[in-house]
Structure 1
Amino acid sequence: MSGLDLSGLRARPAQVWGAVRLVPLVRAEPITDLRLHRELYEGGPLTVRGERGTAYTAYVPHGFVANWTGDGSPAAAYGSQLSDERDPVVCAPLHLPRKLVQRRRGREEGTRAGTGAATGPGKGKASGGPSGGLRFLPLHLALDGYLALHFGGPSIVWEEWTRRAVRDGLSPRAERAYRGEAIPGLDDALRVFEIHPGQCGVLVYVADALAAAFVVPHPDDYRALHPSLLQDLYGELMYQYALYGGPVPQFTARIAAEYITSLAELRSAAERRQQEWEREHAVLMAGELLDETYEVRQAYRMGRFRLSRFLPPFALHRPQHIGETITDGKGRVAYLKTFRLTDKQVRRGHVLHRLAAHDWHVGRTAEAMGISGPELVRRVTHLGFEGLLKPPAEGVAKGRG
């Protein structure tokens, strides 16, 4: 378990449009030996291979390609071209990726996709010079980890289990999400708001609830990927907040004129107000993301960088986020993308965690949760996992295993 280290990133004053609040994140020193760019995909839903013989199917509008160097020299974001940021980038025809994380072989492959064999977790290395690149599906790496959460089943088949679950396994499992284009006000906010000098990320709030965090290594990467926020996935709760929530207040900084006698004092006062905003934002708004501890699983090693996904502890009655990161050798975040779970999704993760911790034994799990066996069965059924257990029976009601 570990937290998110966003050191090196500083918050700038928020920009508000209706119920949407965007908080820019800037870097004093950009990361130059890791660069990101995207590849556009067409054709609707995409199916790729997951772990343990599973398949992941979702709407995937684009993939990210990470290029890095092993010796610390600057890396380039390939595929750059001049265009309006709001218009789709013209790309060569692509073969769609076969996996959530897939290595690209060499610079000469250009924008060609799906041709390199993927290596296992922890096997991507770079000793120096430009890499061939690593393609991954942004946010879908994290969603696949959430969907597969504890779906391996118990090591012992208890009496409460259904024959279908034993015979066919626990999949498929599905969750609902909304594209950014469906979030009222987000399109206008991204179009109207300015991009700050040195901006490498943004925190997206809807009705002052943190919807997503997006961080990239370099300001040029952010400018290129800024429009991609409209194609990202957002939880149902964020859609409802934007649809029914009213405008959020502007946070303005005031400087008492009677204490200002020179330009130097005005500059000093403005800097103090900016520092106060950064502290207040870290404590009041982004604390739910930064103060949490996560279960981190590495997906790929890229020289001094690590691509990982993380899951929260699924604590009830507080906001929980899933996501993915690229971190450097000291654990500092170079890339970050998060997804806020709905309360029901948190409850699903919570119940699955508890069942897995007690080897899916209904009686012991119910006892640990301080509830009865029938109540646990009711919760499992209400959360959409009715296929995991037999219909209510005497054995379940008594918690017999």
Structure 2
Amino acid sequence: MALKSKLLTDISLKGLDIAPSQVRGAVRIVPLLRRQVHGDLRLLRRSYDEDITVVSLEGEMTKPGMKYFSYVPHGLVMSWSDDGSPVASFGGQIVKPDGKRLDCGCASVRLMHRMAKRESANQLRFLPLHLAMEGFLSLFFSGPDIAWSEYSRYALSHGLGSRYETAVSGRYIAGLEDALRVFEIHSRQVGVLVFVAEALASAFVVPTPEDYRALHTSLLEDFYSDLIYQYGLLYDTTLPMDVSVDESKINSLADLRGAIAKMRSDWASFQGFMAEGLLQRELHSQRVYTAGPFVLQRFMTNLQLKHENYIGEAIARETGEIEYLKIYRLSEAQTRRAYLLSKLAQYNWNLDATAKALSHTREEFVCRIEAAGFGYLLNQQVRDAARKKVKKS
């Protein structure tokens, strides 16, 4: 895996083995087994019971007073050692209160500070997937740097304003809860690749098998794009895949062992190929926290329209080995919004230059911005003129 200043530039399964998948309905779960468990990094789930969580983002390269609102069912607490020694069991550690709880009558609210907060010398609490989603929402958030006349006063004063995205809880993905309940957990298993109707829905990796057993059901508390939810409703089975041993070539136990080893290798290669939309894909990563020999970072794959695109977070060693990984697959609408914002930022928010780069007329590009939900960034005169000209043509 290529590394640049300890930041991931792609995702690989270095140090992990892919085991044969298990299928139930449209859900395929592929176990990931760690070859060498170091033990110098551990993850613990900290559950929350509130209806909504408000996270203050001050100090995280955001505007003063910026806050993140979402339902947050749990956080993760990472503990590490700087010298490679095993981390003490979590049963002997002191659990600190996290944030404040408010009872508002109709709903309960938890107030928290920062997406990733250091709690002691070698302990950090962060909010899984929300860390990645907050980074996604903050992309190009400040809006135009130049006061172009085409933009509204709101855009020039407040940038993108209140950005939001919607997602679906894993409990609503058809068949996922049953699959997690009945599937076998291997002795060296530290993660999974989850496919719904053969579409990669999640990749989840933790440092140790003990951590994975404790966090196995947390996949139900993660959020998924509406695309995965729809796949779960539309399909009730996976594609047929048959890998078998040619009996005519088996003349001894050694032949049988070799044939089974080859079959498992073929399975691993094929299942890795199924996740090619994530694996070895160019990443844009951002460092969140350096914890001794580990770096907590969030990332986004290079955006490609009509292709799978992901955001996520990872903890990697100095060697590039991934100790923690969690991803979220962007829907096509989310990809389009991020793509448009990235192109506008690339051309300094100049409408004409961006439209030309995308092979659009100015009016077509304005209508595309409207369709993506960003029409409020433009002044009304520009929007009306574009609608009128497109309607005539």
Q: TM-score, normalised by structure 1?
A: 0.87
5+ long unaligned stretches in structure 2: 1-7, 101-111, 387-393
Of the three residues 93, 99, 104, the one matched with 1:95 is 99
Contact 1:183–1:242 under 8 Å retained in 2:
yes
Alignment-derived partner of residue 11 in structure 2: 4
Match of 2:4 in 1: none
The structural deviation recorded for 1:174 is 0.7
Which residue type is aligned with residue 63 of structure 1?
Answer: G
Give me the whole-angstrom Cα distance separating, in 2, the residues matched to 1:76 and 1:234.
Answer: 33
1:189 equivalent in alignment to 2:202: no
The residue that corresponds to 1:116 in the other structure is none
Aligned partner (choices 2, 7, 29) of residue 22 of structure 1:
29
Partner deviation per Cα, 1:18-39 (whole Å, 9 max, x = no partner): 1111010001111311110110
* Alpha-carbon distance in 1 for matches of 2:328, 2:382: 38
Structure 2: how far apart are the matches of 1:6 and 1:340? 18
Q: CA deviation at 1:79?
A: 4.1
- Does residue 199 in structure 1 map to residue 203 in structure 2? no
Out of 333, 353, 357, the residue aligned to residue 364 of structure 1 is 353
Structure 1 alignment gaps of length 5 or more:
82-90, 107-130
Counterpart in the other structure of 1:147 = 137
Q: Aligned letter for 2:27?
A: V
**Structure 2 residue corresponding to 1:65, chosen from 77, 95, 104:** 77
**Structure 1 pair 95/77, CA: closer, same or farther in 2 (3 Å)?**
farther
- Supply the distance in 2 between the matched residues of 1:296 and 1:395 (Cα, whole angstroms): 39
Q: How many percent of aligned residue pairs carry the same amino acid?
A: 43
Go from structure 1 to structure 2 and tell me whether the alpha carbon gap of 1:236 and 1:77 turns closer, same or farther (over 3 Å shift). farther
* CA distance 1:344–1:395, shift in 2 (3 Å): closer
Counterpart secondary structure, 2:267 = helix
**1:157 positional shift:** 1.1
User: Once the 2 structures are TM-superposed, how far is the Cα of residue 165 of structure 1 from its aligned partner?
Assistant: 1.9
**Number of corresponding residues:** 363
| Cα contact 1:316–1:347 (8 A) shared by 2 | yes
Among residues 233, 240, 244, which one is paired with 1:254 in the alignment? 244
- Judged with a 3 Å threshold, the aligned counterparts in structure 2 of structure 1 residues 394 and 329 are, in CA distance, closer, same or farther, namely closer
- Give the TM-score of the pair, scaled to structure 2: 0.88
Runs of 4 or more above 6 Å deviation: none
- Per the alignment, in what secondary structure is the counterpart of residue 289 of structure 1? coil
- Is the alpha carbon distance of 1:267 and 1:55 closer, same or farther for their aligned partners in structure 2, counting shifts above 3 Å? same
Counterpart among 292, 296, 300 of residue 303 in structure 1: 292
2:98 and 2:235 mapped to 1: Cα distance? 40
- Aligned partner of 1:87 in structure 2 is none
Alignment partner, residue 390 of structure 2: none
Partner of 1:336: 325
Q: How far apart, CA to CA, are the structure 1 residues paired with 2:381 and 2:189?
A: 55
Partner Cα distance (1:337, 1:103) in 2: 20
SS in 2 for 1:29: coil
**What code does the residue aligned with 2:187 have?**
P
For 1:2-401, list aligned pairs within 5 A. 2-50=9-57, 51=60, 52=62, 53=64, 54-79=66-91, 94-96=98-100, 97-105=112-120, 131=122, 133-283=123-273, 285-393=274-382
Q: Structure 1 CA distance, aligned partners of 2:377 and 2:321? A: 39
Cα distance change, pair 268–151 in 1 and its aligned pair in 2 (3 A): same
Corresponding letter in the other structure for 1:338: I
> In the alignment, what sits opposite 2:104?
none
Q: Alignment RMSD, CA only?
A: 2.0
Residue 394 of structure 1: CA displacement?
Answer: 8.8
